Amino acid sequence: MRQAVSMVSLLGFRLQALSSALGRPLSCTQTKILGRDRVMLMESLVVGDIAELRPNQGTLSLFTNEAGGILDDLIVTNTSEGHLYVVSNAGCWNKDLVLMQEKVRELQNQGRDVGLEVVHNALLALQGPTAAQVLQAGVADDLRKLPFMTSAVMEVFGVSGCRVTRCGYTGEDGVEISVPAVGAVHLATALLENSEVKLAGLAARDSLRLEAGLCLYGNDIDEHTTPVEGSLSWTLGKRRRAVMDFPGAKIIVPQLKDKVQRRRVGLMCEGAPMRAHSAILNMEGTMIGMVTSGCPSPCLKKNVAMGYVPWEYSRPGTTLLVEVRRKQQMAVVSKMPFVPTHYYILK
């Protein structure tokens, strides 16, 4: 069982650079898509049904290319302020921005009403079983009314203009807070004054997202991976599947009915930890795939990993071999998430 301690990680810029980042542009991952045709713009780039989002509701989606590959994963929120709020990976920021800017220019040349604005905010992630309790002390809004994948703009510990989104890449309850740069240090300090909150780096977040079976772009999914191969078919909007109007639809949609050649699976083993690039073999010793992410699970006291194997080896319970430190050890294909998630859902 995970400890009842919340953690705060600082996204969009280096932790050690926090104090020096005030008043300066940050390594931004946040964008506003503006105009009457904003939904049309976003749906021309991603696989999700953006039009169906209610005010202040968000969804995880995927930028795809015409070959069906994943260019990045991102969260799109339909705000009540009349724009789409987009958060994408910092490591893919440059190509994501160019992708969106080029589409904006294309649609503007067609007479469409669209625009793009970069949001120069910091992004703080407060995650864990007590995250809502910790944050509630610093906001007037009732966080019980903010379920998973919804957001609201509010004042947080005296910092106005913060967008609080009930989400995070850990499998736990929590929020990501988009905070104006000038208030980032104050807000982080206020959160850390609570003894329930501990600073956490990328290693902690990596083990949490792995236990939750969540992908890391560049490791588990990339431009050569389709959503179906990556076990991310659920990101494809029902309407979008029917009309097939997103990039790569002619490749991706048929894969929903036909067995793809390979599939992302979870793996569990004891012994030495499985790491990225470890070879996956069948029981006859023939290499059939590769581990993409792996680490010891602090909760399960076992080693967990994700990787790609041919369809016929993807059934949970299948026994395989993984080569670790030049030795072969047994691993079992396992359902994900490895550890149950605890997202806050209204009942």
CATH code of the domain containing 105: 3.30.70.1400
- Core vs surface per residue 276-314: b (16+ CB within 10 A) or e: bebebbbeeeeebbebbbbbebebeeebbbbbbbeeebb
Supply φ then ψ for residue 243, to 5 degrees: -85, -15
- Summarised one tens digit per residue, pLDDT across range 22-54 is 333 334 489 999 999 999 999 999 999 999 999
Query: Measured between alpha carbons, how far is 79 from 84 in angstroms, rounded to an integer?
Result: 6
pLDDT value of position 347: 76
CATH number reported for the structural domain that contains residue 283 in this entry: 2.40.30.110
Query: Measured between alpha carbons, how far is 320 from 17 in angstroms, rounded to an integer?
Result: 44
The verdict on 114 and 33 lying in the same domain is yes
Asked if the structure places residue 207 within a domain, the reply is no
Residue 123's nearest CA partner among 173, 58, 78, 168 is: 168
The domain tally of the chain equals: 2
- Which residue ranges are tagged as binding site? 176
Asked if the structure places residue 235 within a domain, the reply is no
In 110-248, alpha helices (H): 131-136, 184-192, 202-211, 238-243
Amino acid in the structure at residue 329: Q
- Summarised one tens digit per residue, pLDDT across range 57-105 is 999 999 999 999 999 999 999 999 999 999 999 899 999 999 999 999 9
Q: What is the pLDDT of the chain when averaged over all its residues?
A: 92
The verdict on 178 and 76 lying in the same domain is yes
Q: Higher model confidence: residue 2 or residue 204?
A: 204
- Which residue ranges are tagged as binding site for substrate? 176
Bridge partners, residue 302, by sequence: 297
Quick one: CA torsion of 94, 10, 131, 181, rounded to 10 degrees? Answer: -90
pLDDT at 11 over 90: no
Residue at a domain's end among 143, 160, 194: 194
- Summarised one tens digit per residue, pLDDT across range 209-253 is 999 999 999 999 999 999 999 999 999 999 999 999 999 999 999
pLDDT value of position 324: 95
Per the listing, tokens 């309407």 go with 239
Quick one: CA torsion of 237, 116, 77, 119, rounded to 10 degrees? Answer: 150
Q: Are 62 and 72 in contact (CB under 8 A)?
A: yes
List CB contacts of 311: < 8 A, sequence separation 6 or more: 259, 260, 261, 262, 263
Between strands 197-199 and 6-11, the pairing is parallel
**24-28, 80-84, 203-207, 287-291: least confident range:** 24-28
The verdict on 188 and 282 lying in the same domain is no
Asked if the structure places residue 63 within a domain, the reply is yes
How many angstroms separate the first and last alpha carbons of the chain? 23
Q: What is the pTM of this model?
A: 0.92
